[in-house]
């Protein structure tokens, strides 16, 4: 990222107005890519978290059933 930011620094002989506009445009585009990437990651992790929650719930219920079944057969 540092390298990318160093490339955005305007050269001394360039027109300042065009350079600022181009730099701002590049920064906005990069920011939009970062937002899009973070949305994709959030969707992916939300799905993974849901699967983890469901599988853990099923596992806890199964273990509880086994414990109740075993405790009733011992008596």
- pLDDT on residue 61: 97
Q: Is the dihedral of CA 21, 27, 28, 30 positive or negative?
A: positive
pLDDT, greater one: 23 or 11: 23
pLDDT bucket at 16, cuts 50 / 70 / 90: low
pLDDT bucket at 64, cuts 50 / 70 / 90: very high
**DSSP 8-state secondary structure symbol assigned to residue 10:** P
Residue 22: name the closest of 5, 10, 31, 35 by CA: 10
Domain boundary assignment for the chain: 14-74
């Amino acid at each position: 990222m540092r390298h990318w930011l160093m490339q955005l620094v305007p050269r001394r002989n360039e027109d300042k107005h065009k350079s600022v506009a181009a730099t701002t445009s590049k920064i906005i585009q990069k920011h939009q890519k970062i937002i899009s990437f973070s949305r994709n990651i959030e969707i992916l992790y939300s799905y993974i978290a849901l699967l983890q929650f469901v599988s853990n719930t099923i596992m806890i219920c199964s273990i509880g059933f086994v414990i109740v079944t075993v405790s009733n057969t011992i008596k």
